[in-house]
Amino acid sequence: MAASFFAPSRMVAVVGEDFPESYTTLLQSRGIDLSGLTRQKGRTFRWKGRYAQNLNDRETLDTQLNVFEDFQPTLPSAWISSRYIFLGNIDPQLQSSVLDQVNSPVLVAADTMNFWINGKAELLSHTLRRVNLLFVNDSEALELAKEQNIVRAAKKISAMGPKWIVIKRGEYGAMLFLEDQIFTIPAFPLASVFDPTGAGDSFAGGFMGYLALAKEINERNLRQALVVGSVMASFVVEDFSLDRLQTVNDLQIRERFRAFKNLTHFDDLSLDLLRVAS
Between residue 184 and residue 203, which ones bind a second copy under the rule CB under 8 A?
Answer: 184-186, 189-193
- Give start and end residues of each alpha helix (H) in 12-120: 21-29, 92-100, 114-119
Pattern of binders to a second copy over 120-159, x per CB under 8 A? ----------------------------xxxxx--x----
Query: Which of 112, 95, 107, 241 is closest to 163 using CA atoms?
Result: 107
Query: Which of 147, 178, 151, 148 is closest to 165 using CA atoms?
Result: 178
Query: In this complex, which beta carbon is closest to a second copy, that of residue 77 or of residue 278?
Result: 278
The answer to whether 37 and 12 have CB atoms below 8 angstroms apart is yes
Residue 103 beta carbon to a second copy: minimum distance, rounded to whole angstroms: 25
Pattern of binders to a second copy over 21-40, x per CB under 8 A? ---------x----------
* Strand-pair partners of 47: 63
Count of chain residues binding a second copy (CB under 8 A):
56
Report residue 57: phi and psi, to 5°.
-100, 140
N- to C-terminal Cα distance for the chain? 54
Residue 163 beta carbon to a second copy: minimum distance, rounded to whole angstroms: 18
Between residue 213 and residue 272, which ones bind a second copy under the rule CB under 8 A?
Answer: 213-214, 220, 223-224, 226-227, 249-250, 253-254, 257-258, 261-269
Helix, strand, coil: what percent of the chain each, to 5?
A: 45, 20, 35
Q: Which residues in this chain contact a second copy in the complex, by CB under 8 A?
A: 4-7, 30, 53-54, 148-152, 155, 169, 172-173, 175, 181-186, 189-193, 213-214, 220, 223-224, 226-227, 249-250, 253-254, 257-258, 261-269, 273-278
